[in-house]
Amino acid sequence: MNNNKSNTLRGLLFGAGFIAVAAFIFTGCPSQQSMLDSRDAAEKVYVAPGEHDEYYGFFSGGYSGQLSVWGLPSARFLKVIPVFSQDPETGYGYSEETKPLLMTSYGFIPWDDSHHPHISQTDGDADGRWIYINANNTPRIARIDLQTFETKEILELPNTGGNHASSFVTSNSEYVIGATRFSIPYEMDLDVPIDSYSEEFRGALSFIALDPETGMMEMDFQILVPPYNYDLGRAGKGPSSDWVFFTTYNTEEAHTLLEVNASRNDKDYVAAINWKRAAELVRNGAGETMSAEYYHNYYEGNQGIAINVVKDQVTVLTPEDGQNFIYFMPTPKSPHGVDIDPSGEYIVAGGKLATVIPVHSFSRMLDAIENERFEGHVEGIPILDYDATIIGEVENPGLGPLHTEFDGRGYAYTSVYISSEIVKWSLETFEVVDRIDAYYSIGHLMITGGDTRNPDARYLVGLTKTAKDRYLPTGPKQNHPAQLYDISGDRMQLLLDFPTIGEPHYAQAIRADIVTPNVKQIYEMEENDHPHALLRVADNRIERDGDTVRVYMSSTRSHFRPDNIEGVRVGDTVYIHLTNLEQEWDVVHGIAIKGANNSEILVAPGQTKTMKWEPTRTGIFPFYCTAFCSALHQEMQGYIRVSAADSDVALTWSTGGN
Amino acid sequence: MISQKPLLTLLTIILFIPAFHACGGEETSDRQQSQPQTEEATLTEFELEHGIGPVTERIEIGDIDLDKVAEGRNIYEMKCEMCHNYQGRMVGPELGNVMERRSPEFVMNFILNPSGMVREHPVGQELLREYMTAMPFQNVQKDEARAIAEYLWYYHKENN
């Protein structure tokens, strides 16, 4: 079957005639699928104009660094939430308020690679309050507030090389976890030969405590672990909710050509950590305080300006025999995902180089720990006997199983990368019951309401890595696709195939009615605590302090106040503090100044944002509103006169001759 | 290749006709009911004189309540003044003498239901034609609108 499929693919890509390709594109129907006819599929995803989708889908941006928001099942694109990358569309990472969010111990970083969004949970179900997402490259975790769909906080993770196994929350949002993908010398900035890998390099698993009221993050402790690669993680559920699990690969401890050198053992490990026990040990003084440098960036108050708090130490717990909080479970080679079923009992690893999908049992794992069924120890960590924890191996899952989610009705769905398909299998018999193609090369998949105790398993979204012939061609590089499947029946059925933004790795979907009651329509002016807010037009003004000029400006349909400014000089640093005085939903104003080496700034109703501008030439500089705000939007403009550095033009401002 | 085009067009049409047909029946009765009502004839005498909105009964402005005046002034400066002068038109009409022209209920309803007023009330429609900018709702609550009315009443008394 796999051969047939790859032949079909190759034929489509390279050999087929125009009609074959055209028919494929126009019908959107793969040839050999269990596929609804177009009309039935269209009805299932049709959401009438003005009506709303049933689910929010949050798709990571991958190398865009952002998080995109979609309505499901229609696949309406709703917005991009900028997180780890600058976004000139909104001014995120360009405005003075948001620039501090992108500060790290390495300085200002305009980009990252965002992989795994995870919605905060209460009692093991997504509660829709916040969504956390990891930065893979310069290790960080961000918190996005789902009242405003804005990034409110970013925490850097010290001693971490690539925060990939992140940002998964525990079932009552006690912790969000992170881990090093690339082991590195644990002590900061240690300059050692790379071939001292086994001696000097170590992994760090991060446990970030979450404030139950605000969702704010605090680095609680790290666990020092052997120098493997830590790939993905998940928290337990129900009976296993005190535990988190990480996959490891490269237990060979290779530091070069991992493709070959990290594929030699026949098993790697799932690390099982009792986080409650680890936290207790830390509370009782088992940890060690080590120096570290990492940034914690967040807003103080309602909005205002993000601040940087630089931390200089972290608590580190090094496993020792007899502490009983961390174990390794051997699992078939190079596992990617480690996924916990809704009951909390089954721990499914996706061994991308394995021929089976291994299913471990949480209760058997506890028995094995109790009875000390260890096959060895590594760096103070007991290695459990494979046969003691395994409860099933799913045969014939396709080539390269990666990630699994569950429907809560007794079935699991695993994405299979190399053979590019999704397999559905039974948690009772561990046998494959259905399979369906993915277009092409599927990475993660997600089920609506997935990774919770009560999945709302209507739909499944497959996040695939290459589009090739699926859409109208857009050059050598095309956007990554996603496919929506109906999984409410016995067979999976493909409903929709749509291009996404960036390179989605993982996504989560939540019932919209959990989120929408809390979504804000405006920033209430009475609650604007920005230090440079302009809350009444009579206070519009300009203040000069040496070379620093602060313009306190307001916007209302359809004018700025002030809109005529004189007395700015070359060499000044000008801050335009623009307050949008509108209190009506979705009435946004923006500002752009000719020649400013900056992006525009968009300002939501009731919000204050600041554009920094350093004029380098004399002259008259027009500025205007960038958001089409009203019938008189085109009249919404102003002029700033810039004079020579030694000029004595007085600082004046006016609007409408007042 | 050119000769394939009519075939493809036909294929596209054939495929899309059922899709549109399937979606055509989805119009809900909710949407049909949400058409704006524009007929003046449906307005009551109260609405014609005092506006359409949450204020449906006459309001007494008796002795000036200076606390209420201060509250109203605070909100007025934060949420109204950027578009209205006391004397002379700006984005919207002058308001220094508005209490001479309109009832307090009318002013409150305009503050609390501006989109309804410009859509459904003949005076609102006329004002929109004159000023070409629809007044926005500024997230003002009913008791706050009452305080603004108190302030404008006081302003008018003090300045005439």
Share of chain A above pLDDT 90, in %: 88
| Residues of B in Cβ contact (< 8 Å) with A656 | 90
Task: Answer with the one of A493, A518, A543 that is the final residue of a domain.
Answer: A518
B83 shares contact with chain A (CB less than 8 Å): yes
pLDDT of residue A317: 97
| Residues of B in Cβ contact (< 8 Å) with A581 | 78-79, 82
Same domain, A418 and A370: yes
| Residue range of the domain that includes A636 | 525-654
pLDDT at A205 over 60: yes
- pLDDT per residue over A511-553, tens digit each? 999 999 999 999 999 999 999 999 988 899 999 999 999 999 9
Same domain, A501 and A575: no
The residue-averaged pLDDT of A367-390 equals 97
pLDDT of residue A19: 37
- pLDDT per residue over B69-84, tens digit each? 999 999 999 999 999 9
* Mean model confidence pLDDT for chain A: 93
For residue B23, give the nearest of A566, A39, A357, A619 by alpha carbon. Answer: A39
Measure CB to CB from residue A26 to each of B12, B18, B81 and give the nearest one.
B12
Rg (CA), chain A: 27
The residue-averaged pLDDT of B116-135 equals 94
Residue B127 distance to chain A (closest CA, Å): 15
Q: Please report which residue ranges of A298-419 form alpha helices under DSSP H.
A: 362-370, 386-389
**CATH code for the domain in which residue A492 is found:** 2.130.10.10
- Residue A459 CA to residue A483 CA, distance in Å, equals 10
Residues A152, A129 contacting (CB under 8 angstroms): no
End-to-end CA distance of chain B: 82
Q: Helix, strand, coil: what percent of chain A each, to 5?
A: 15, 45, 40
The residue-averaged pLDDT of A355-378 equals 96
Confidence band (pLDDT; 50, 70, 90) for A138? Answer: very high
Same domain, A480 and A572: no
Tokens 């992140």 belong to: A166
pLDDT at A246 over 90: yes
pLDDT of residue A34: 52
Find which of A537, A563, A635 to mutate to test the B interface (most B CBs within 10 Å of its CB). A537
Confidence band (pLDDT; 50, 70, 90) for A578? Answer: very high
pLDDT at A167 over 90: yes
Report the residue of chain B nearest A605, measured CA to CA: B138
DSSP state of B37: P
B13 shares contact with chain A (CB less than 8 Å): no
- pLDDT per residue over A485-498, tens digit each? 999 999 999 999 99
**Does A644 map to a domain?**
yes
**Does A99 map to a domain?**
yes
As for how many domains chain A has, the answer is 2
- Residue A139 CA to residue A179 CA, distance in Å, equals 9
Task: Answer with the one of A450, A485, A518 that is the final residue of a domain.
Answer: A518
**CATH code for the domain in which residue A618 is found:** 2.60.40.420
- pLDDT per residue over B11-67, tens digit each? 444 444 333 333 333 333 333 444 444 555 689 999 999 999 999 999 988 889 999
- DSSP E strand stretches across A22-139: 55-60, 67-72, 76-81, 103-104, 107-108, 118-122, 125-135
The residue-averaged pLDDT of A155-172 equals 96
Same domain, A481 and A602: no
Confidence band (pLDDT; 50, 70, 90) for A160? Answer: very high
Find which of A520, A559, A584 to mutate to test the B interface (most B CBs within 10 Å of its CB). A584
Same domain, A493 and A561: no
Whether B15 sits inside 8 A of A27 (CB atoms) is yes
Task: List beta partners, residue A56.
Answer: A71, A510
Whether B79 sits inside 8 A of A525 (CB atoms) is yes
Share of chain B above pLDDT 70, in %: 74
Confidence band (pLDDT; 50, 70, 90) for A384? Answer: very high
Confidence band (pLDDT; 50, 70, 90) for A230? Answer: very high
- pLDDT per residue over A600-638, tens digit each? 999 999 999 999 999 999 999 999 999 998 888 899 999
Tokens 């398993």 belong to: A457
Same domain, A529 and A501: no
**Does A454 map to a domain?**
yes
The residue-averaged pLDDT of A364-391 equals 97
Tokens 């909105």 belong to: B53
pLDDT of residue A537: 86
ipTM comes to 0.74
Find which of B7, B14, B95, B138 to mutate to test the A interface (most A CBs within 10 Å of its CB). B138
pLDDT at A22 over 60: no
- Residue A130 CA to residue A14 CA, distance in Å, equals 45
More confident residue, B133 or B105: B105
Confidence band (pLDDT; 50, 70, 90) for A574? Answer: very high
- pLDDT per residue over A78-119, tens digit each? 999 999 999 999 999 999 999 999 999 999 999 999 999 999
Residues A470, A481 contacting (CB under 8 angstroms): yes
Same domain, A552 and A436: no
**Does A9 map to a domain?**
no
Residue A344 structure tokens: 């909390």
Tokens 């979907």 belong to: A509
Same domain, A562 and A450: no
More confident residue, A14 or A100: A100
Same domain, A379 and A404: yes
pLDDT of residue A124: 97
Same domain, A513 and A558: no
Whether B139 sits inside 8 A of A522 (CB atoms) is yes
Per DSSP, the three-state class of A527 is: helix
**Does A167 map to a domain?**
yes
The residue-averaged pLDDT of A420-443 equals 97
Share of chain A above pLDDT 70, in %: 94
| Residues of B in Cβ contact (< 8 Å) with A535 | 78
Task: Answer with the one of A474, A496, A518 that is the final residue of a domain.
Answer: A518
